[in-house]
Homo-oligomer: A and B are copies of this chain.
Amino acid sequence: MTTYIEIELVKLKKKLLELGAKVEDSLRQSVLALAGRDRKLAETIIEQETTIDTLEVEFEEECLKVLALHQPVARDLRFIVSALKINNDLERIGDLAANIAERAVFLSKRDVIDSPYDVLGMADHARNMVRKSLDAFANLDEETAREVCTIDEKIDRLNREAYPKVTRAMQENPEHLEQLINYISISRYLERVADHSTNIAEDVLALLGGEIVRHRLEEMPEPDRDTSDSEGA
């Protein structure tokens, strides 16, 4: 027999995955706009941000209603608290997609320059992480959730490697400083998209294991982080 609370939880999950699909789409399109110097598309994504914000607020209200009406405990309660956190992470990924779109608008009006690092490859990894973290949540799939955490390490590395590359390009082409600063921003935005996806994956792991795994997966701070990177955070 399916209980009322189970029906509510299925509804919440469906709604959250719909928001996730919208956010993933915004991110995909912001990268397309960047790659194609498509200012119109970029502006559309910037406008869509408010829709995502509204959906986030609505979802939170629905979670509060389910909490108040059904007073779930144990696993159901943990599911809703995780859903609230995932909701928040998705909204931030939506913000970051809009940030990338803003950089795309800026860059579309300047001379074309090559990105000093593989920005599209990095964006692919980031988008892949968003999709996989949502898949992990949809299927409560531990393996996929762990995969997300692994890709995160790769993106952290790519972000660290981007800085000396951009610095070198700045030294060689000081006339492109403005554009190059924007490429630094984009690298950081993608790295933050990856972080939020990792948060989602860690919430899935917590749901599966019943305990909070986040932070434990993170590497401990090294005694001296300043080795090869001029900017690593």
- A→B interface (CB under 8 Å): 43, 46-47, 49-50, 53-54, 56-57, 60-61, 63-64, 67-68, 71, 73-74, 77-78, 81, 84-85, 88, 98-99, 102-103, 105-106, 109, 163, 166-167, 170-171, 174, 177-178, 181-182, 184-185, 188-189, 212, 214-215, 218, 220-221, 223-226, 230-233
Contacts and interface: CB of A to CB of B under 8 A. Distances in A.
For this chain, the copies found in one complex come to 2
A200 to B, nearest CB: 13
Nearest to A229: B106
B184 A57 contact: no
A105 B63 CA distance: 43
Contact of A225 (B81, B85, B105): B105
26 contacts: A43-B224, A49-B221, A57-B212, A57-B215, A60-B212, A64-B78, A64-B81, A67-B67, A67-B77, A71-B71, A71-B73, A81-B84, A85-B88, A98-B221, A99-B233, A102-B226, A105-B224, A106-B226, A106-B231, A163-B181, A167-B177, A170-B174, A170-B177, A171-B174, A171-B177, A178-B230
B68 A230 contact: no
A187 to B, nearest CB: 11
- Dominant secondary structure at the A interface: helix
Contacts of A174: 170-171, 174
A231 B212 CA distance: 37
A215 B61 CA distance: 14
Q: Among A106, A184, A214, A218, which residue has the most Cβ atoms of chain B within 10 A?
A: A106
Given A57-B212, A178-B167, A233 B102 contact: yes
A107 B83 CA distance: 40
A50 B98 contact: no
